[in-house]
Amino acid sequence: MGTIDLHLHSKCSDGMLTPSELVDKAFSLGVKIMALTDHDTVSGVREAQGRAKELGIQCIAGLEISARLNDEVHILGYNINLDNPEFQAGIHKLQELRRERNHEIIRKLRAHGIKLKVYDELDGESRGRTHIAKMLYEQGFVHSRAEAFDKYIGRNAPCYQNDVGITLEEAVKLIVSAGGTAVLAHPYRFIRNGELSNFVSRMVDYGLGGIEVYYPNYGKEVRQSIRLVANQHKLIITGGSDYHSEEYGSKIGSTNVILNEHTKNVLGIK
């Protein structure tokens, strides 16, 4: 069936490639089924789908919503009706929240003595910490983007600002109301073994339809424990590389994703 990668970022959020370049690269690496899942936006989807069609591969309309809990929880959405007005309003709200959060991070950096010159670009669509890390790097405050996260804006660093996204319930409902399937991304980033089942039960009540099982560094045992929870709740099982660039995320198509029949049916994969 060819290589599958259902978790990919482009320049439309914090990836490095344009949607067309991303599709070209995926194609050259043997990917036959992909999804563009930019943070809090679907603005690259039409371009990606156009290029995928030219190349004869399937590109699913997707996104990755940053939702609010104690910490970041990400919800992937697949097969969304891009024209749905409620969905567009939800995206608009997410963009506003991102802008406010970016300014809060800048405020914290300044209070911390970092006199960062802010590029206008930061008020564009789906800008966030990756773009702030780039500014810190380019203005010589750190030696690498990774250092920007470690030293200033990462989770345990002094200028960290929580995700201020919509609630988990809102995120799932937004995707479902636009005809999409909501999938819990990289579940082990924020939840441990025994807690996953309870957490997923609650999410299923909101309309969760799937869970990401194939993810970089999720070994056999981790995948099996997530798969058990997925099967308990009859959820679809997805996965992908979370590719952003050659520096961040894994290589496109490197996650060895295998889709079962139920998942293929729900996602409309031939």
Residues that bind ligand AMP (CB under 6 A): 14, 39, 66, 128-130, 145-146, 149, 154, 244, 248
Nearer to ligand AMP, 99 or 262 (CB): 99
Residue 251 corresponds to which tokens in the numbers above? 């290589």
Residue 119 binds which of ligand AMP, Mn ion, none (CB < 5-8 A, kind-dependent): none
Nearest residue (beta carbon) to ligand AMP: 128
Would you count residue 38 as binding Mn ion (CB under 5 A)?
A: no
Quote the least distance from Cβ 142 to Mn ion, whole Å. 18
Q: At what angle do helices 85-111 and 129-138 cross, to 10 degrees?
A: 40
Residue 190 binds which of ligand AMP, Mn ion, none (CB < 5-8 A, kind-dependent): none
Quote the least distance from Cβ 130 to Mn ion, whole Å. 6
Q: Side chain identity at 169, as an amino acid letter? A: E
Q: Side chain identity at 152, as an amino acid letter? A: Y
From the list 43-51, 91-99, 177-185, 253-261, the region that binds Mn ion by CB under 5 A is 177-185
d(CA 151, CA 158): 8
Residue 66 binds which of ligand AMP, Mn ion, none (CB < 5-8 A, kind-dependent): ligand AMP
From the list 10-18, 84-92, 100-108, 155-163, the region that binds Mn ion by CB under 5 A is 10-18
Q: At what angle do helices 193-206 and 168-177 cross, to 10 degrees?
A: 50
From the list 51-59, 64-72, 96-104, 259-267, the region that binds Mn ion by CB under 5 A is 64-72
Distance separating the N- and C-terminal Cα atoms of the chain: 9
d(CA 34, CA 148): 31
Q: Looking at residues 87 to 106 of the shown chain, list those that interact with Mn ion (rule: CB under 5 A).
A: none
Quote the least distance from Cβ 64 to ligand AMP, whole Å. 8
Q: Side chain identity at 1, as an amino acid letter? A: M
Q: Side chain identity at 104, as an amino acid letter? A: E
Q: Which of 3, 10, 2 is nearest to 249 (CA)?
A: 10
Quote the least distance from Cβ 129 to ligand AMP, whole Å. 4
Nearer to ligand AMP, 156 or 221 (CB): 156
Nearer to ligand AMP, 71 or 195 (CB): 71
Contacts with 251 (C-beta within 8 Å, 6 or more apart), sequence order = 29, 241, 243
d(CA 13, CA 22): 13
Nearer to ligand AMP, 103 or 233 (CB): 103
Nearer to Mn ion, 197 or 245 (CB): 245
CB 148 within 8 A of CB 247: no
Q: Which of 74, 96, 94 is nearest to 183 (CA)?
A: 74
